[in-house]
Amino acid sequence: MADWGRRIGAGVRAGAAAAGGGGGPPVFIGLRGPLGAGKSVLARAVARGAGVEAPMPSPTFNLVFRYSLPDGGSVVHADLYRVRSVEELAGLGWDDLLADGFVALVEWPERAERELPEDRWEIELEIPDEPGVRTAKARRIGAPVPAELPGFPAAE
């Protein structure tokens, strides 16, 4: 899972480089799944693949952490579990997270269902009963950037 996440992150930044350094259209990846499913672990792996080297604490209490990339782009790691209103979301700088050059990795996107960008990826993590097994389903919604995720070509 960590390796897959790093490949996603690297692919995302390669796309940004093609679009001209730290710019490029915003990338939004929603991470769904029950408590402890591995959303934070996957988000960190994507961020590492995108070039984040700083320590990445859990956004459980701060809700949003932003990391600047050397190329001028930013990675944002958010956890919306505790968000209760649209006003709260705005207070977190929600609109800024959807700007060019941003890679947004958002846990518990269902807390902001109606505020999610039309074009996005959603990754759903599950912990099946089988010991040692984790599953991930990726779903493309609208016309997100990137258009493909490693291991999830064109198909939904």
Pick out residues in 35-94 that bind Mg ion (CB under 5 A): 39-40
Smallest separation (angstroms) from ligand ATP to the CB of 153: 22
With CB atoms as reference, the residue minimizing the distance to Mg ion is 40
d(CA 136, CA 125): 5
Q: Note whether 105 binds ligand ATP by CB under 6 A.
A: no
Q: From the centroid of its chain, how far is CA 13?
A: 13
From the list ligand ATP, Mg ion, none, which binds 26 (C-beta under 5 to 8 Å, kind-based)?
none
Question: What does the DSSP assignment read for 8-45?
Answer: HHHHHHHHHHHTTTT-SS-EEEEEE-STTSSHHHHHHH
DSSP 8-state symbol, 143 = S
68-87 mask for ligand ATP (x: CB under 6 A)? Answer: -----------x--------
Residues near ligand ATP (CB under 6 A): 1, 33, 35-41, 79, 107, 134
